[in-house]
Amino acid sequence: MRVDWTTFWPRIIEATGQTITMVFFTLIFASILGFTIGISLFVTRKGNILENKAIHLILNLFINIVRPIPFIILLVTIGPLTRIVVGTTIGTSAAIFPMTIAASFGVARIVENNLVAIDPGLIEAAKAMGASPVQIIFTVLIPETLGPLILGLTFITVALIDFSAIAGTVGGGGLGDLAMTYGYQRFDGSVMLVTVTVLIILVQFAQLLGNKLSHKFLRK
Amino acid sequence: MITFNHVTKTFGEGERALKAVDDVSLTVEKGDIFGVIGFSGAGKSTLLRLVNLLERPTEGEIMVNERNISSLSQVELRRLRRRIGMIFQQFNLFNARTVFGNVAYPLKLAKVPKQEIETKVTELLQFVGLSDKANHYPEQLSGGQKQRVGIARALATSPDVLICDEATSALDPETTGEILNLLKKVNEEYHITILLITHEMHVIKSICNRVAVMDNGRVIEEGSVFNVFSNPQTKTAKNFISSVLNDRLSIKLLNKLRTDHQGRLFRLIFKGDTTNKPILSQVAKKYNIDFNIAYGSINELQVHLLGNLIVELIGADSEINHVIAELEQTIEVREVLDHES
């Protein structure tokens, strides 16, 4: 049975809102967590401002364990944990938790990779001016890498739109869910076309915003 | 002001250990512009980084303002670092901050009130001649301008000492001259002691009053620029000095002089006041000989002059010997036998 488009548009709009909600909150939580992990990973490196072999090793190992797990497997595996934290495993907010876990470690790696590229001379200069390690993190590391970091976050955002579609299939709602239930399972090509078009527009918009923002901070 | 007392810095351990600084003792007095010269890998960069503990000494002690800096706590060390400005070969400016932001940075770290920062940065930008570039970003500046920002930033916390890590090595000769003049102005107007390292002898010659020559982690020669330049003891020092004094002959030039001048060649070295006296014409009148100046240079070192002439003495050997004996009472005389002399 085909959907009735006169009543189906509100569903599309609702689903778009769910997708945006999932991506937006995940991005905020994953950024906080990912920046923390990524920066910790960088500053604990050998010879760096807070060198600490043990912490560096543990963080590195943890990232390498979580990152290769396919998202759909991770989603199901950490279900019990999601229930403890969010209270349920169904719905948009329940999808945000596993998405945050998966994205954080991606963000952490992107943050670390960009920090590695920073000129060590800048850290040395800040040290020579009497900056403490915490001051170096907030006044040198983050501001100096903000441009490329925003590009990295943009990349993550696009990946999150993809994640949100998978999360949707296990009760998260959103455009992915709509495409699967109406478009795929009921063979309605028009739903598929509309949802995919909306997803493309979202991705384009995210990329455009990311490029604009990063350009503002790129000073090299 | 800064004293190194038998300081050694070793990188690595065991077989692969490398002594970058080897038992160095030095004193930089207040008001000095002290230059350390050496080839790359001589250990001068490490030596400089020991002053603000960017590197920690393996042995020995370093005193800054009569305090042993190795014993400072982290908080005290950060406070000390604000008393020691530092500038770098690659400038190390923050690309995400404007010129104003770069100069204001150390003041923000020190939690100086905003109004005070504004005043200080404006004053410093005027001092380095970049008032009109306050809102520019480093990427929009030339190398010389970047180093001016570096200097202004290093002076922001009103330090007692400025340490310069090859500050002019990335600049062209003309810009180098401008930056060196600026450093001299820093020393004279703000009474800031300067410790610089370089591999370019003309930097030492232009602005330093004291110099140390480093080779293989050791200080092999040290003293006032005039004394070291006029009487170098080691081969390394001689090489560096002849690179700017233009006083040594190439084999080719010596051969040419030999064909042009049949008489005996002597090198006469005039130091300080002796450059003002008509010594040559006096002895020429007194004895029956002729002088023929074959080659030479007179250099200005701080306020002193250093003359270096190669002259041909024409006359009887016995007369020449008398002339040499008499000249040696006031100036240094060496017979030129090969291109090394």
Interface of A with B in 107-166 (CB under 8 A): 119, 121-122, 124-132, 135, 139-140, 143-144, 146-147
A128, A139, A219 member nearest B86 (Cβ): A128
Tokens of B79: 């406070």
Banded model confidence at residue A4, pLDDT cuts 50, 70, 90:
confident
ipTM value = 0.84
Q: Which residues of B touch A (CB under 8 A)?
A: 52, 54, 74, 78-82, 84, 86, 88, 90, 92, 94-97, 105-106, 108-110, 137-139, 153, 157
CB contact under 8 A, B157 and A219: no
- Which residues are bridge partners to B193 per DSSP? B161
Banded model confidence at residue B251, pLDDT cuts 50, 70, 90:
confident
Find the DSSP H helices in B128-223: 143-155, 173-189, 201-207
Distance CA B74, CA A75 (A): 45
pLDDT per residue as tens digits for the range B71-101: 999 999 999 999 999 999 999 999 999 999 9
Distance CA A8, CA B184 (A): 78
Q: Specify the domain boundaries for CATH 3.40.50.300 within chain B.
A: 2-244
Chain A residues whose CB is inside 8 A of the B97 CB are 143
DSSP state of A2: -
Q: Can you give the length of chain A in residues?
A: 220
Counts for chain B of helices (H) and strands (E), in that order: 12, 14
Distance CA A74, CA A60 (A): 19
CA distance A137 to chain B (A): 12
pLDDT per residue as tens digits for the range A55-88: 999 999 999 998 899 988 988 898 899 999 988 8
Q: Average pLDDT, stretch A177-188?
A: 82
pLDDT per residue as tens digits for the range B11-61: 988 888 889 999 999 999 999 999 999 988 889 999 999 999 999 999 999
pLDDT of residue A220 exceeding 60 = no
Output the pLDDT for position A158.
92
Instruction: Look at A85 and B303; give whichever has higher pLDDT.
Output: A85
pLDDT per residue as tens digits for the range A15-66: 999 999 999 999 999 999 999 999 999 999 998 999 999 999 999 999 999 8
Q: Are A148 and A218 in contact (CB under 8 A)?
A: yes
For chain A, domain boundaries: 5-219
Phi, psi of B335 (to 5 degrees): -75, 135
Q: Are B331 and B270 in contact (CB under 8 A)?
A: yes
Q: Structurally, what CATH architecture does the domain formed by A5-219 represent?
A: Orthogonal Bundle (1.10)
Q: Specify the domain boundaries for CATH 3.30.70.260 within chain B.
A: 249-335
Distance of CA A98 to CAs A62, A160, A202, B121, B315, Å?
Answer: 16, 11, 21, 49, 101
Chain centre distance of CA B191 = 18
Please state whether beta strands B218-224 and B84-87 pair in parallel, antiparallel, or not at all (unpaired). Answer: unpaired
Distance CA B118, CA B123 (A): 9
CA distance B91 to chain A (A): 9
Distance CA A79, CA A89 (A): 6
pLDDT of residue B113 exceeding 60 = yes
Task: Report which of A86, A109, A108, A92 is spatially closest to residue A25, judged by C-alpha positions.
Answer: A92
Q: How many Å is the Cα radius of gyration of chain B? A: 24
Distance CA A174, CA A178 (A): 6
Question: Tell me, what amino acid is at A74?
Answer: L
Determine what percent of chain A falls in helix, strand and coil, rounding each to the nearest 5. 85, 0, 15
Distance CA B63, CA B50 (A): 10
Tokens of B89: 């070969």
* Stated pTM of the model: 0.85
- Please tell me the number of Cα atoms within 13 Å of B2 on its side-chain side: 27
pLDDT of residue A218 exceeding 90 = no
Q: Average pLDDT, stretch B306-333?
A: 86
For B244-282, b where at least 16 C-beta lie within 10 A, e where not — what string? bbebbbeeeebeebeeebebbbbbbbbbeeeeeeebbee
Q: Average pLDDT, stretch A203-213?
A: 93
Q: Are A103 and A27 in contact (CB under 8 A)?
A: yes
- Which residues are bridge partners to B301 per DSSP? B304
Does CATH number 3.40.640.10 belong to domain B2-244? no
Q: How wide is the angle at C-alpha B94 spanned by C-alphas B89 and B99, nearest 5°? A: 95
Instruction: Search chain A and give the residue with CA nearest B85.
Output: A129
Q: How wide is the angle at C-alpha B116 spanned by C-alphas B112 and B117, nearest 5°? A: 70
Find the DSSP H helices in B64-172: 74-82, 99-109, 114-127, 143-155
DSSP state of B88: -
Banded model confidence at residue B278, pLDDT cuts 50, 70, 90:
confident
CA distance A129 to chain B (A): 6
Q: Are B37 and B199 in contact (CB under 8 A)?
A: yes
pLDDT of residue B145 exceeding 80 = yes
Chain B residues whose CB is inside 8 A of the A131 CB are 78, 109
Distance CA B203, CA B208 (A): 8
Does CATH number 3.30.70.260 belong to domain B249-335? yes
Chain B residues whose CB is inside 8 A of the A124 CB are 54, 88, 92
Q: Average pLDDT, stretch B146-174?
A: 95
- Which residues are bridge partners to B7 per DSSP? B24
pLDDT of residue B338 exceeding 80 = no
DSSP state of B132: G
CB contact under 8 A, A124 and B54: yes
pLDDT per residue as tens digits for the range A139-178: 999 999 999 999 999 999 999 988 888 887 777 788 888 8
